[in-house]
Amino acid sequence: MTRPDALVVGGGIIGAACAHTLARRHMSVLVLDTGHQPGTATLAAGGMLAPLIEVRPDDPMSGLSVRARDLYPQLAKLLLDTTGIDIGLWLEGILKLAYTEEEAVRLKNEIAWQRQQGFNSDWLSLEDLRERAPGISPAAIGALIAPEDGLVEPLPLVHALLEGAKKSKANIRRDVRVNGITIRDDRVIGVDTDDGTIEAGNVIIAAGAWSGRLTGLPRPLTVEPIRGQMSALDWPIGEPPSIVYGDGGYVINRGDEAFVGSTMEHVGFDVAATQSDLTTIYNAVERIYPCLNTKNPKKTWSGLRPMTPDGRPIVGPDPHVAGLWYATGHGRNGILLAGLTGEIIGQLMTGSEEDAGFDIAALDPGRFWSY
């Protein structure tokens, strides 16, 4: 193809979302990806849309995270209409269990704060909890419920975003290894690949945990891989669909399976699953849902989440290199924040008048760098 307006480095969920938005805004887009390398976060994701489960009063991402979740109904319809792909959007609520009176008080305080911010959460009594999720541990005494939270299917989502981008004339190549960025006179020129330089008007770094390994960046990119292990179990026949957090673990029902996780491990790019960490997960899961059979898991896997020092993504333009953009470092929230990230990049790059605008100071790429 001719020199694209935008070249996206990475074809995972974030790169796909950026490509989809930019192509629909009539930019010529090229996505470069090496294929499904081990540890890719999208392939290992649980798919939860859970902005209210771990939100803190001092978290500058809380409003953006809720807005990101609320974009999904419209995005799901758009993708279904344009590609025919159902991304499995389910927004029937997520539970966070309390096992002690102290935990119950803490969760009720969280609910009070969330309501003050205009967020929707509530307390389920023991009776209401048993009615909603009869298989829940008898040790639980109640739960926070975020009734508008839920999940999507990660693989259909990324496929739909890329297919939608292609229908808007984007080009997707999964056979190209990007080694670094080419910059000249404080202006991005393109990317360096095994086959030479590919020029572009803009380059978006969306390579997940591998973003910081690209050469030629104007300064070190503070993104590192954090391994998360998960496992799939049989979902009990007759148990209602549910997503539940508790005691350091979580359970996600998807069809006839329960996806359970997860760990946060600083092990570099090692993607091996370890029995000791899986045992820790199973112990937490057994306390959430005793009816789950953790003795015979159907499969286990791990993914590498791209984490930043403050746990917030890096999204936006480089402060000093024209045409260089970042969309990386989403950690455990890549699925949740994907659509929002695409919209932010699209707004900043095209400046369309119809955009409502986002307060993205918390995502500023320059927050880690001094000049």
pLDDT digits (tens, 9 = 90+) for 214-271: 999 999 999 999 999 999 999 999 999 999 999 889 999 999 999 999 889 999 999 8
How many Cα atoms sit within 13 Å of 363 on the Cβ side? 26
User: In this structure, how many other beta carbons lie within 10 angstroms of the beta carbon of residue 180?
Assistant: 15
Question: CB within 8 A of 307, min separation 6: which ones?
Answer: 223, 224, 225, 226, 329, 331
For residue 1, the model assigns a pLDDT of: 58
CA distance 208 to 302: 15
For residue 121, the model assigns a pLDDT of: 96
CB-CB contact of 79 with 87 (8 Å): yes
Q: What are the residues facing 190 on neighbouring strands?
A: 182, 199
**Which 3 state secondary structure label does DSSP give 285?**
helix
For residue 364, the model assigns a pLDDT of: 93
For residue 370, the model assigns a pLDDT of: 62
> Taking CA 341 as the corner, what is the angle to CA 338 and CA 344, rounded to the nearest 5 degrees?
155
For residue 83, the model assigns a pLDDT of: 98
CA distance 29 to 298: 39
Burial state string for 284-310 with b = 16 or more CB within 10 A and e = fewer than 16: bbbbbbebbebeebeebbbbbbbbbee
pLDDT digits (tens, 9 = 90+) for 153-182: 999 999 999 999 999 999 999 889 999 999
CA distance 108 to 130: 18
Taking every pair of Cα atoms in the chain, the longest distance, rounded to a whole number of angstroms, is: 66
For residue 39, the model assigns a pLDDT of: 61
Q: What are the residues facing 151 on neighbouring strands?
A: 48, 90
CA distance 263 to 223: 18
Structure token pair of residue 285:
């899961």
For residue 356, the model assigns a pLDDT of: 54
How many Cα atoms sit within 13 Å of 115 on the Cβ side? 12
Kindly give the parts of the chain with pLDDT less than 70: 1, 36-39, 352-358, 370-371
